[in-house]
A and B are shown apart, each in its own frame.
Chain A
Amino acid sequence: MNTIKEYLTTDHRKCDAIFAKMEEEAGSSLENSRILVEEFISDMQHHFAMEEQVMFPEFEQKTGMTQGPTEMMRQEHTQMRSLFTQLMDSLNENNSDRFFGTSETLMILLQQHNMKEEQMLYPMAQQHLSAESDRIVSMMDSLAVE
Chain B
Amino acid sequence: MSSEITSSRPVKSIGLHVGDAAPGVKKVDPILIADGVKRTFGGLTAVDVDHVEIPRGAITALIGPNGAGKTTFFNLLTGFDKPDTGSWSFDGRSLAHVPAYRVARMGLIRTFQLTKSLALLSVMENMKLGAKNQVGENLFRSLIPAIWRKQDTEIEVKAMDLLTRFKLDAKKDDYAASMSGGQRKLLEMARALMSDPTLVMLDEPMAGVNPALKQSLLDHILGLKAEGMTVLFVEHDMHMVRHIADWVIVMAEGRVVAEGDPHTVMEDPAVIDAYLGAHHDIDLGADSEHVEALKELIDDEQ
Q: Do the two chains belong together in a single complex?
A: no
